[in-house]
Structure 1
């Protein structure tokens, strides 16, 4: 099996030893994105909805660099530092995806890198 790293300036650079995404066959595994603005590598300011929108914008950039789009995502994992943010993130996700929505898990975590409140990873399938 061959695998190819995906990299784009339309999403934040990796802050550790990982790829923004890896393609294996026609499946693309997208690493977790936190709400960094790619140009500044700083967290977006604002409420949790603003953070979630930035995360999905970052994922969109990686999807496009891999030759796909958010519509090709079949699974997302959402990590929140506070489940009280669940409804706000749901609203953002509903504005980003169309039915049928991706499969999903949402997990509360004790902390995320750089003080982020939300992180999302995904799996995308290409034709």
Structure 2
């Protein structure tokens, strides 16, 4: 049977909490200085976790980031702490135009798995 008496949580444990205040902001791909900071953080991360990976040079990365893709909407978010960029979050989502299937009368074959299963 388990004891219902309160436990002494401080015995043998460091109860010091570390809190970090961060700011998360979208990366403006036309702000070259912000892009350079984001690229530096990504290169440092890639070199640390994947030493076999050679990240693209800044100019190449900038062209890629500024490219508008009609299939995927890509975004980058800067994570800043004490005024320094400490992380970059990358995300891509299907474009709303792609995720909305055309009408079924405009094609003869199903476009999605749901349509295949729903077909009579």
TM range (shorter): under 0.3
Q: Which has the larger radius of gyration?
A: 2
Give TM-score scaled by structure 1 length.
Answer: 0.24
Q: Which has the higher strand share?
A: 1
